[in-house]
Amino acid sequence: MSKPTMSKPTPSQTAFVPFVSVDNMMRLVHSLGIEEMLKGLAAYIEEDFRRWELFDKTPRVASHSKVGVIELMPASDGEAYAFKYVNGHPKNTREGLQTVTAFGLIADVYTGYPVLLTEMTLLTALRTAATSAMVARVLAPEGARTMAMIGNGAQSEFQATAFRVLCGVDTLRLYDVDPSATGKVVRNLSGEGFDLTICRSPEEATEGAQIITTCTADKQLATILTDNMVGTGIHINAIGGDCPGKTELHRDILMRSDVFVEYAPQTRVEGEIQQMPDDFPVTEMWEVIIGAKPGRASQSQITLFDGVGFAIEDFSALRFVRDRIGETDFFQNLDMLADPDDPRDLFGMLRRAR
Amino acid sequence: MSKPTMSKPTPSQTAFVPFVSVDNMMRLVHSLGIEEMLKGLAAYIEEDFRRWELFDKTPRVASHSKVGVIELMPASDGEAYAFKYVNGHPKNTREGLQTVTAFGLIADVYTGYPVLLTEMTLLTALRTAATSAMVARVLAPEGARTMAMIGNGAQSEFQATAFRVLCGVDTLRLYDVDPSATGKVVRNLSGEGFDLTICRSPEEATEGAQIITTCTADKQLATILTDNMVGTGIHINAIGGDCPGKTELHRDILMRSDVFVEYAPQTRVEGEIQQMPDDFPVTEMWEVIIGAKPGRASQSQITLFDGVGFAIEDFSALRFVRDRIGETDFFQNLDMLADPDDPRDLFGMLRRAR
């Protein structure tokens, strides 16, 4: 530890917290390649799902208002502690702002000192997609290559890319109530190795698809998918229903499906299964991944991932970024922690700065 | 809102979060003057105590390990949302690190966007002292000018200064198990308008004092003050007992005192009153401040502030800094929020950055 001088206090190394800005996160993604980033995130998330029982888990701490929610999502494995700050304001889009913005931090449990602060709007989009694809790799029918995407907002291209990289999906059937959203996806994904079809209804989108991804953003009880649209043997990746009062699927679909979740206590409040009784049977994905519970048992079964986003996925993503930025210059050091020469002499440090 | 260009994405104004580093916090304190800063913080805290019932209050969210704790402390008044990250690692001092480091953030509830990120190690020391002195101004016996300070660690000079500025205390009787800690306080407070006496025991320190401040740091059930040391009519400012398993006062003192707290559900877990039954009578300070409950009723009464630090005080402190830095250059803008031209086009923003 370098020591601050008496005359002009300068922060020591421990006083600095590396910070990854949005710009640096984009540089990190492109230096690794988005495919490698998604694979890496999926591997870290799977690794943390495998040691699920080890984590100190709490449902997120939410502060609700009439227009949205602000949440803190903490998780710890006993060595590292991480949390994410994330808002959810569906009305923001109409005002030219993001529905969801996020940042996060990872700290050393032994000292309590933060070791990384980072933007997480982009990182959340990437980890959400990596989680969905990691789950689909386990649950989707074998050889699935066609995916319906209902809802073509900010998350959709990330989902599509993760499913291409991790599951081999190469055909997308796109639908959104707003055709300009679909146009945006087509622009962004042209030349990225997909066969793209623009559909005029959700029904048309689901035709011939082995995987259906629903990711719409409105905060309401919607019915994006009705029972007649869902054939046997498919996998549904439902990620838009992610807070109380926001669902996308008709309950009849839930009745016919085997439902897989991240963390049941949270999903029963926030997910599609908020429509169902408290004892509605679900399987937590970590149990499938460690082999304690079955995943897909037959080609005719409907599997449904009721994804809401859990703190451990953010923990994994923060761990991934922490492990990758060390050798790069994709961060700046923030003088965030007061670190006087003598730890008891905080006042002296302040006084000498005068 | 300025728009990012297509060729090279640059963050728009809403993407920036002003960040106050430790260095800039020290510049802010000195530009205002530490006296004015403490007065300002006390005024903001008192204002927020007056509208206590309006706040969305939750006890802090703690993650405990064998060596310490990491906590998130959120609070919201419906317009602003704030939280503080704070660790407590008593063993850190022996390793040349701070026992407590902190940073915090305040956001706009309407958009969910952060509007200020700041160091809070210094700010917490200041707000803790401002809270104690604001409380003592109400509860301490009239004309109190002599304060015993038992525990001369990082918080002590801040306490002393706040009591001088807000309560007129000009005589300090100092004691610490480690004489070098007391020596540090004497060095730091010489020439600051105090009559300073170094004492060889807690008993000696309390002689003639109208206010006793206890702020020791060890995480254990200690007995810094015993019953025979506490005469009638004094005010005790007990701020060191602030987490489960950490107390400073003998329970007989609590029996003889009228106990005042910030937020009873939290203090019963973390404060001196963790030694007492769950129905031990306490008064929340906000009730005294709005005039709903009596404070000091007689000159012979022992008043005891069982301070543990509550999220609303951090909210007030963050609000204060937010309101003061606007006209200064004591901050830097962090590119922390992804803010694409079209809010739905996060992927396009990432792609164009390649």
- Give ipTM to 2 decimals: 0.91
By residue range, what is the domain housing residue B162?
128-309
Q: What is the pTM of this model?
A: 0.89
CATH classification at residue B81: 3.30.1780.10
Say yes or no: B253 and B190 in one domain: yes
**Residues of B (269-308) whose Cβ lies below 8 Å from A:** none
Chain A positions in Cβ-Cβ contact with residue B345 (cut-off 8 Å): 154, 184, 188
**Res. B151: pLDDT tops 50:** yes
First to last CA, chain A: 24
CATH classification at residue B258: 3.40.50.720
DSSP strand pairing (A102-108 vs A258-261): unpaired
pLDDT tens digits along A104-119: 999 999 999 999 999 9
Q: How many domains does chain B have?
A: 2
pLDDT tens digits along B281-337: 999 999 999 999 999 999 999 999 999 999 999 999 999 999 999 889 999 999 999
Residue B11 touches partner A, C-beta closer than 8 Å: yes
Say yes or no: B180 and B275 in one domain: yes
B222: in domain: yes
A8: in domain: no
pLDDT tens digits along B172-223: 999 999 999 999 999 999 999 999 999 999 999 999 999 999 998 665 667 7
As annotated, the active-site residues of B are 242
Say yes or no: B257 and B329 in one domain: no
**Residues of B (29-48) whose Cβ lies below 8 Å from A:** 29-30, 34
Whether residues A336 and B103 touch (CB distance < 8 A) is answered with yes
Please, are residues A77 and A51 in contact by the beta-carbon 8 Å criterion?
yes
A49: in domain: yes
Q: Which residue of A98, A127, A188, A349 is the best one to mutate when testing the B interface, meaning the one whose CB has the most B CBs within 10 A?
A: A98
A354: in domain: no
Q: What does the radius of gyration of chain A's CA atoms come to, in whole angstroms?
A: 22
A6: in domain: no
Say yes or no: A304 and A327 in one domain: no
**Res. B142: pLDDT tops 90:** yes
Task: Provide the sign of the torsion angle of the four alpha carbons B179, B181, B187, B190, taken in this order.
Answer: negative
B4: in domain: no
Say yes or no: A228 and A280 in one domain: yes
Say yes or no: A180 and A222 in one domain: yes
**Residues of A (110-139) whose Cβ lies below 8 Å from B:** 110-114, 119, 121-122, 125
Q: Which two tokens stand for residue B67?
A: 């060596």
Q: Which of A242, A258, A306, A339 is catalytic?
A: A242
Say yes or no: A179 and A200 in one domain: yes
From B27, B155, B338, residue closest to A22, measured CB to CB = B338
Alpha carbon of A101: minimum distance to chain B alpha carbons (Å): 6
Active site residue A77: no
> pLDDT category, A219, cuts 50, 70, 90?
low
Helical H segments across chain B, by residue range: 22-32, 34-50, 121-139, 156-167, 179-189, 202-206, 251-256, 264-270, 285-289, 311-325, 346-352
Say yes or no: A177 and A267 in one domain: yes
**Which of A284, A336, A293 lies closest to A312 in space, CA to CA?**
A284
Residue showing tokens 């702020």:
B215
Please classify residue A14 by burial: count the beta carbons closer than 10 Å to its beta carbon, then call 0-12 exposed, 13-18 middle and 19+ buried: middle
Say yes or no: B105 and B52 in one domain: yes
| Nearest C-alpha in B relative to A67 | B110
Say yes or no: B46 and B179 in one domain: no
**Res. A91: pLDDT tops 80:** yes
Residue B347 touches partner A, C-beta closer than 8 Å: yes
DSSP symbol at B15: G
| Nearest C-alpha in A relative to B180 | A344
DSSP strand pairing (B16-20 vs A258-261): unpaired
**Res. B5: pLDDT tops 60:** no
B246: in domain: yes
Q: What percent of chain A has pLDDT over 70?
A: 94
Alpha carbon of B63: minimum distance to chain A alpha carbons (Å): 8
Q: Which two tokens stand for residue B89?
A: 């690692």
A353: in domain: no
Task: Give residue A1's pLDDT.
Answer: 34
pLDDT tens digits along B30-68: 999 999 999 999 999 999 999 999 998 776 788 999 999
Say yes or no: B177 and B290 in one domain: yes
Say yes or no: A338 and A228 in one domain: no
